[in-house]
Amino acid sequence: MNFANLLFLYVFFPLCLICYFLTKKVKYRNWVLIVFSLIFYAWGEPVKLILLLLATLVNFMLARSIDANRGNGLAKLSLVIALIYDIGMLFVFKYTDFVIENLNGLFGAAIPATHVKLPLGISFYTFQILSYIIDVYWEKVPVQKNYPKLLLYISLFPQLVAGPIVRYSTIREEIDMRTTSLKDLSEGLRRVLVGLGKKVILANTLSVLANQYLSTTMQTSSVVATWIGVISYSLQVYYDFSGYSDMAIGMGRVFGFHFDENFNYPFVCRSIQEFWQRWHISLGSFFRDYLLYVPIFGKRRQWLSLFLVWFTTGLWHGASWNFIFWGLYFGLFIFIEQKIGRKKLKKVPDVVMHIYNKFVIIIGFGIFYYGDSKSIGSFFSQMGRYFGNLFGFTGNGFLRVDELTVGTYNKVLNETVYFTRYLWIFLIAVIVSFPILPKIKSFLEKKSVAVRSAAEIVSGVLCVGLLILSTILLIASKNNPFLYFRF
């Protein structure tokens, strides 16, 4: 099931709210959430629900084994078995065909592909399970001895299929003790509607621009079209994923859970390091806490660990070479920034740093876009056309005045006219990517009660407007999957 879906918005979610608030005890409310979460997941993939249930059961028992055998080898053995099982299941379903295709290409073999379908949300719930089992082993959290409570943590539908990656420590106490105040309900629902607007109004519209200008063939794309397309796609990914995260955090708030933020206006960053401290925060913190300090060849090796993290970050996003190089691409710039040092970077003028990092980020999302690079050859072929179009090396844009022809002029003119049809939504997307709303909220908090009350009314009306407009757009559309559903 999909958050940006009329059935979810007007049937599933309201029905879940009714059942949830009709019960009074947390124990029964947990069961309401478990039942609705399993229905939510099974709606699109009833067979794959077995994998989710099996993963939670296996890790529940192995965590109990770790806790019962602390101080001896069985605890470490239980952890190893859990890691092999969890990572192995993720590998089988996500990377088997990728490995087969590259082995066939490298050795000229003819190993048949499995064509196994990727279970919805497996990357997200596997990482949640891994964080739980490792934290239990490290004694950062107590083991959960009640299986339904662990199942609730893993399967909670707001964050099940596309994050954020919620740590067990974040909601451990709220599984047993939580309440929903009127403020929680109000702010949670508003966050849901804001996230819905980000997805349906901004991300979906930006996707039209991105797909128009970033065709997979790229044979006729001009420099102007390529830059418009890649900037639009960068914004689309941001609003698509941050919109989902907003909805997930908002729904969690309605049910009394307080998830950590997953995005913090990443495009206002001054460096690539800062960008990744603001973008997909739950994934970045996962790799930082569980992979960055892993000893390589017997001891910690700072730079190898850094590139291991970014190789894994890219690979986590999908079984395709473009994702691997996308991760290493950002890892390279973070490596360069760390070698330069923060003190020296602070001396660089802000305008230079902002131009530099936006340039790097936008080009990076162009690499991210071409997600069908199963073989290394097809990846480099696509990247050659992409960078050629981006910088005018293919003849599709203008490089010199004497190269201009009527055909290239008309092509670029048509591309520009098409862009003007979406210019208003493009400008709104750019403006909203800055932390304007938090500043307005901070400003209003210093005002009188009457002003704050009036602002609350205006905010409520705007949110209702977002719901109405999103509903109209959803009626007119056929499918609205979130981009990160495929990861």
Residue 445 pLDDT class (50, 70, 90 cuts) = confident
The pLDDT, as a whole number, for residue 206 is 92
pLDDT at res. 271: 94
Q: Residues 193-207: what's their mean pLDDT?
A: 92
Per the DSSP assignment, residues forming a β-bridge with 296 are 299
Mean pLDDT score, 446-454: 83
* Mean pLDDT (the chain, rounded): 86
The stretches of 341-435 forming alpha helices (DSSP H) are 342-346, 350-369, 376-391, 406-420, 423-432
Average pLDDT over residues 403-423: 66
Give the residue with greater pLDDT, 43 vs 294.
Answer: 43
Compare 310 and 304 and report the one with higher pLDDT.
310
pLDDT above 70: residue 404: no
Q: What is the mean pLDDT of residues 186-206?
A: 93
The predicted pLDDT at position 420 comes to 81
pLDDT confidence band for 440 (50 / 70 / 90)? confident
Residue 299: phi and psi, rounded to 5, are -150, 165
Residue-wise pLDDT tens digits, 330-351: 999 999 999 998 889 999 999 9
What would the DSSP string read from start to end of 220-286?
S--HHHHHHHHHHHHHHHHHHHHHHHHHHHHHHHHTT--PPPS---GGG-SSHHHHHHHSSHHHHHH
Please tell me the least confidently modeled range out of 27-41, 74-88, 406-420.
Answer: 406-420
State yes or no: pLDDT of 153 exceeds 70: yes
What is the value of pTM for the model shown?
0.90
Residues involved in catalysis: 317
What does the pLDDT look like over 262-301, one tens digit per residue? 999 999 999 999 999 999 999 888 888 888 766 655 566 7
Q: How far is CA 160 from CA 28, 52, 87, 166, 199, in A?
A: 20, 10, 18, 9, 18
How sure is the predictor about 400, in pLDDT bands with cuts at 50, 70 and 90? very low
**Mean predicted confidence (pLDDT) in 178-198:** 92
Whether pLDDT at 42 is above 60: yes
Q: What is the model's pLDDT at position 292?
A: 72
Residues 382, 385: Cα–Cα separation, whole Å? 5
- Strands (DSSP E) contained in 27-132 are none
Which whole number is the average pLDDT over 59-87?
93
Domain residue spans of the chain: 6-179, 184-486
Q: According to the model, what pLDDT value does residue 460 have? A: 87
Residue scoring higher pLDDT (120 or 417): 120
pLDDT band per the 50, 70, 90 thresholds, residue 89: very high
pLDDT at 62 (0 to 100):
96
